[in-house]
Structure 1
Amino acid sequence: MQSRRVPAEGLFIVSAISQYIGAAIAISVFDQVAPQSVGWLRVVGATVALWLIARPRLGQWRGRKLRGAAVFGIATAAMNTFFYLGIARIDLGKSVAIEFIGPIAVAAFATRSLRNAIALGCAITGVLVLGGVEIGGEPAGVAFILASSACWAAYIVVGSRVAVSSSGVDGLAVGLAIGSLALVPIGAPWSGPVWGAPLLLLACLVTGVFSNAIGYGIDQYVLREVSVRRFSVLLAMLPVTAVIVGWVALSQQPSALDLLGIIAVLIGVSVQERDTAQTVDPVVQVA
């Protein structure tokens, strides 16, 4: 009997829940550890977990392949750090909505049909509704989230190349190892409190297991199955999940307008074309 593949939408729900459970844990320790240090330890925790699982062969990572993994890992690590600096100042749901500008730009560049344009429009509308118009007078938080958004776009485009050029989560493991080293000057100097508190250190590392090892590991699988355009629109499910996790774990209750935003996102995700990774992808061609 032939096994049935789990739909990309289902995998995204699992990935999103895992990522924002990690984010909720991270927010809970921000009053004890600087966000940039939590971001660095998140990448370190994910790196350790992925290397224990994947055990990548370093001899296979040379030249262009290694450079691609390095760019991917540094972009991912920077995205995590900027995101944590942002959610320390702005609600989780609003932060993810603003951050979604990056995937929207990637999806818009790759959209070539009316059906996909309508799907993208619904997703954008939903994300804007979820994001709201009030940002709590936190321009620094918005700036950090916009920086994370740019890194997210790079994560998608470069990550698709890494996914198809490697097996399993090898590329993610190698990339995050490089990214964790790149973040040492930013994360290590403010990480002092964790070294005398084992449970606090464990909480920071566990965020990496949930958010990066599981969440981004699923992304690597999905990027081998669907096009960059479809992947970018599917990411609209993340703001939806962020609002739900923020409600359940952080008491950030959604409004009726938020529910309308969620419906718009789900419509956008459901009506788009089901193109695969083998579909000609203008974003990856140009990148």
Structure 2
Amino acid sequence: MSVAAMVSVQLGMAISVTLIEGLGVDGVAWLRLAWAAVLVLLIVRPRPATVVRSFTRTSFATCVLLGVVTSGITLLFLAALARIPMGTASALEFLGPLGVAVAHGRGRGRLVWPGLAAVGVLLLTQPWTGAVDPVGVLFALGAAACWASYILLTQRAGDAVAGIDALAVSMPVAALVATVVVGPGVSALLTARTLLIGLGLAILLPLVPFVLELLALRRLTTAAFGTLMALEPGVALLAGWVILGQRPDLLGVVGLGLVVMAGVGAARGGGRTASLPLEQG
């Protein structure tokens, strides 16, 4: 489930980049999140009485926070993609899951991996050349912080709320946050074509990945999930190369490899000691 989620994420991201010129970064993010919220509400069809039974005050607040960080991931990462290559942005964003893996992993050896990741990031960004936009790097690091929060909140929401009901709260909240950030100006840029592409993107990202990750985190520790996510920068590099023509140089490939190695080494754990059934609240 985790591997399928990351493939869906990177395909969606690569296609999103092709829409940025017409809609702008914020417009593409809003379009994806708005469609995802509509689809979730159609699929889950939450009723007020059901919501009252399914959520406690704490679990509802957790899902609201999950929606906020979901919007943050989308807005910040797309802003990074508008400025820096996809493989570089994904590797920087991966520092979020890496931090979770290090914090929740076991053994003293895990403290070595942040240093390895730092070397990898330096080789990827190559700040001594001045080729990478520092604002794009900051956007990617902001997305990393949101992704770390997303992993922790997703597992907490998945443990507390039955099925995928958590998405019935988090996705509309994410869409509302994006709407506040973007404002009404994007509506003038929408066409029938972009609306249809946005619908497809909402399925690729965030709907399918978030459902798969929500279910995967019922069965995995956050450390194990962070380890699996180490594959994502590699998938992003391939997607950026094939779809966007962003061919990396040798140092970039080596740097990406170091970040992936750091992620795998930080947490080699397995499943959770007690995975939750889908209908457990």
1:58 aligned residue: 51
2:137 maps to 1:147 = no
Query: Match for 1:22 among 12, 19, 31?
Result: 12
Kept in 1, the 8 Å contact 2:55–2:161? The answer is: no
Tell me, what secondary structure is at the counterpart of 1:104?
helix
TM superposition shift of 1:103 = 1.6
Q: Distance in 2 between matches of 1:194 and 1:201?
A: 10
Q: How does 1:93-108 map to 2 (within 5 A)?
A: 93-108=87-102
Q: Name structure 2 gaps, 5 residues minimum.
A: 275-281
The one-letter code sitting in structure 2 at the alignment partner of 1:112 is R
User: Judging changes above 3 Å, is the alpha-carbon distance between structure 1 residues 269 and 105 closer, same or farther for their aligned structure 2 residues?
Assistant: closer
1:232 aligned residue: 226
Kept in 2, the 8 Å contact 1:122–1:265? The answer is: no
Q: Distance in 2 between matches of 1:183 and 1:133?
A: 32
Structure 1 length-normalised TM: 0.82
Kept in 1, the 8 Å contact 2:126–2:132? The answer is: no
2:153 maps to 1:158 = yes
1:133 aligned residue: 126
Q: Distance in 2 between matches of 1:225 and 1:123?
A: 28
What is the CA deviation profile of residues 49-91 of structure 1, one whole-angstrom value per residue up to 9, with x for unaligned ones?
A: 2222333442323411110100011111111111111111111
TM superposition shift of 1:208 = 2.0
2:42 maps to 1:49 = no
1:189 aligned residue: 184
Structure 1, 93-102 or 248-257: larger mean CA deviation: 248-257
Tell me, what secondary structure is at the counterpart of 1:278?
coil
Tell me, what secondary structure is at the counterpart of 1:209?
helix
The one-letter code sitting in structure 2 at the alignment partner of 1:141 is G
1:113 aligned residue: 107
Query: What percent identity do the matched residue pairs reach?
Result: 25
The one-letter code sitting in structure 1 at the alignment partner of 2:40 is L
Structure 1, 233-242 or 139-148: larger mean CA deviation: 139-148
1:171 aligned residue: 166
User: Judging changes above 3 Å, is the alpha-carbon distance between structure 1 residues 203 and 72 closer, same or farther for their aligned structure 2 residues?
Assistant: same
TM superposition shift of 1:131 = 2.9
* Number of equivalent positions: 267
Tell me, what secondary structure is at the counterpart of 1:236?
helix
Structure 1, 234-243 or 183-192: larger mean CA deviation: 183-192
The one-letter code sitting in structure 2 at the alignment partner of 1:164 is D
Kept in 1, the 8 Å contact 2:227–2:264? The answer is: no
What is the CA deviation profile of residues 96-126 of structure 1, one whole-angstrom value per residue up to 9, with x for unaligned ones?
A: 11112222222221122256567x4698379
1:38 aligned residue: 28
2:61 aligned residue: 67
Q: Distance in 2 between matches of 1:79 and 1:257?
A: 27
Q: Distance in 2 between matches of 1:261 and 1:205?
A: 35
Q: Distance in 1 between matches of 2:230 and 2:17?
A: 22
Structure 2 length-normalised TM: 0.84
1:206 aligned residue: 200
Q: How does 1:215-230 map to 2 (within 5 A)?
A: 215-230=209-224
Q: Distance in 2 between matches of 1:245 and 1:48?
A: 27
What is the CA deviation profile of residues 174-215 of structure 1, one whole-angstrom value per residue up to 9, with x for unaligned ones?
A: 2111121122121233313443x1111222332221011111
Q: Distance in 2 between matches of 1:146 and 1:258?
A: 18
Q: Name structure 1 gaps, 5 residues minimum.
A: 1-10, 280-287
Kept in 2, the 8 Å contact 1:23–1:211? The answer is: yes
Q: Distance in 1 between matches of 2:102 and 2:35?
A: 34
The one-letter code sitting in structure 2 at the alignment partner of 1:223 is L
Query: Match for 2:273 among 252, 275, 278?
Result: 278
The one-letter code sitting in structure 2 at the alignment partner of 1:104 is L
User: Judging changes above 3 Å, is the alpha-carbon distance between structure 1 residues 122 and 214 closer, same or farther for their aligned structure 2 residues?
Assistant: farther
1:251 aligned residue: 245
